[in-house]
Amino acid sequence: MARFELKLPKMGESVAEATITNWLKNVGETIEADEAVLEIATDKVDSEVPSEVSGTLTEILFNVDDVVKVGQTIAIIETEGGAVAAPKAEAAPAVVAEVAKTVEVAAAVSAPADFSGSDKFFSPLVKNIAKEEGVSVAELEAINGTGKDGRVTKNDILEYVKNRGSQPVAAPAAVEAPKAAAPQPVATATKAVPVSVNGGDEIVEMDRMRKLISGYMVQSKQTSAHVQSFIEVDVTNIVKWRDKVKNAFEKREGEKLTFTPIFMEAVAKALRDFPGMNISVEGDYIIKKKNINLGMAAALPNGNLIVPVIKNADQLNLVGMAKAVNDLGNRAKAGKLKPDDTQGGTYTVTNVGTFGSVFGTPIINQPQVGILALGAIRKVPAVIETPAGDFIGIRQKMFLSHSYDHRVVDGALGGSFVKRVADYLEAWDINRDI
């Protein structure tokens, strides 16, 4: 019998860990190659982890709700013979090389502290702040994090650095005391269940995704200085053009042509014109994104929200954009998105008009600096200017609502960007080929 270590696989470029949500197999049960052993969840996407080999599950190393890092062994499977030694031997050097590379890069940037020996997970941003401020590993581990699962957030470490002047830096014993005392009140507060006063109210705990969304929304409002610009757009030509070509498009491409890819194409063009909107913020640094990756907010059947990403959206023609929008939308509703499908967004679009809203004030998807809400298209009376004079006519109009981060985007840029999107939409060629 040979022992095979089932590890948490790499699930995307920026996915470093996942939460175990359900074990599909119990100890002692047999497993076929490629059969799902457990279910996991990243920030927004749920998926299954299959076994690479056939055998018997002998050990489960993590419980449900445990957070596991990519590359960690999560279970042991016993197999017949010793054939499984090869994949294990191949995986180890790859993991070691990746870790060594990360350590070398970190050492080249700054080497006041080595976080590799810590069992706690710290984000790259938190590590960088710790290095810049000379915060030791012992101090960082002792900070009472307010993030998910007690993780140390940017605000936590900045608050610690701010108040550290009155505290002895090299006094691990003094910092260890709050570490032991802190978990009790936090755990009590988390598990406290509201009590119905009249006995008729139903109390329902948020599901995992809703808790994550709740945390992200609050964090975004606390992080970014939100400000909005609104503009009304005449999309009469777009409505007429789509009505004219949608049946032929569906017959030829096997895809429905909605308004969303048309709007996404205009947004991608505007981002190319105004690269100052295609950035992200980390601390005091602005990161100018090379690629234009559009996030597309999508409502799920259970009422939750997810934001799949169209990669290199500015390089797609309208047919490619329509296929990408439909593919991500359909897989989102079916719960078949991969972790990488929601990673790497540089700007987000949300279609609030789907639910009849005329406009909205969307919350920025961190660490991006802008999000555009598409309002409902409505028939409205409008002044039409002609050489013969002005008259009132019926036009198809909608509002674009642009939320942006005033820390790095001023009104001139935020307003000019949304105006450029409107210009592209209003200049739509009604005779355009598909």
Both tokens of residue 414? 């935020």
Burial 151-186 (b: 16+ CB within 10 A, else e): bbbbebbeebbeebeeeeeeeeeebeeeeeeeeeee
Within a 13 Å sphere around the CA of 307, how many CA atoms are in the beta-carbon half?
Answer: 23
Which whole-number Å values give the CA distances from 248 to 253, 319, 371, in the listed order?
8, 12, 32
**Which residues are paired to 258 by β-bridges?**
none
User: What stretch of H or E contains 261?
Assistant: helix 260-273
328 residue type, one letter? L
402 part of the active site: no
Residue 17: closest CA among 65, 76, 52, 57: 65
DSSP-assigned states of every residue in 121-140? ---HHHHHHHHHHT--HHHH
- DSSP alpha helix (H) spans, 355-404: none
Which whole-number Å values give the CA distances from 394 to 245, 320, 379, in the listed order?
22, 32, 6
Residue of 65, 66, 207, 406 with catalytic role? 406
The CB density around residue 411, as the number of other CB atoms within 10 Å, is 11
Both tokens of residue 355? 């639910």
406 part of the active site: yes
CB 202 within 8 A of CB 195: no
CB 361 within 8 A of CB 341: no
**Separation between Cα atoms, residue 143 and residue 127, nearest integer Å:** 13
- DSSP alpha helix (H) spans, 116-198: 124-133, 137-142, 154-163, 172-181, 183-191
The CB density around residue 353, as the number of other CB atoms within 10 Å, is 21
Beta carbons within 8 Å of 371's beta carbon, 6+ residues apart = 347, 348, 349, 350, 362, 363, 364, 365, 402, 403, 404
394 residue type, one letter? I
**Which residues are paired to 402 by β-bridges?**
229, 372
Within a 13 Å sphere around the CA of 254, how many CA atoms are in the beta-carbon half?
Answer: 1
Residue of 34, 149, 207, 410 with catalytic role? 410
Catalytic site positions: 406, 410
